[in-house]
Amino acid sequence: MTVTLTIRENHVAEIRLTAPARRNALSFATLEALVASIGEAERNGARSAILSADGTVFSAGADFRDLTGTAADLSFDEAVGRATSSLRRSRLPIVAAIQGPCLGAAVDLALSADIVVAARSARFEVPATRLGLLYNPAVIALLHRNYPSPAIKQLLLGVPISAENAVTGGLIARAVDDDELMATVNDIAARIGAGDKDAVAATKELLTALDAGPIKLEHWSGPRKRLLDSDARREAIERARKTLSH
> Domain extents for the chain?
3-193, 197-244
- What pLDDT does residue 36 have? 98
Convert the pLDDT of each residue in 174-231 to its tens digit. 999 999 999 999 999 999 999 999 999 999 999 999 888 888 888 898 889 899 988 8
- Is the confidence at residue 81, as pLDDT, over 90? yes
Contact between 147 and 164 under an 8 Å Cβ cutoff? The reply is no
Fold of the CATH domain 3-193: 2-enoyl-CoA Hydratase; Chain A, domain 1 (3.90.226)
Strands 12-17 and 3-7: antiparallel
Q: Tell me the per-residue pLDDT of 111-125, one tens digit each, with 9 for 90 and over.
A: 999 999 999 999 999
pLDDT band at 240 (very low <50, low <70, confident <90, very high): confident
Predicted pLDDT of residue 237: 83
- CA dihedral 181→90→30→80, nearest 10 degrees, is -100
Q: DSSP secondary structure string, 53-88?
A: ESSS-SB-SB-GGG--SSGGGHHHHHHHHHHHHHHH
Percent share of the chain, pLDDT over 90: 81
CA-CA distance, 54 to 69, in Å (whole number)? Answer: 28
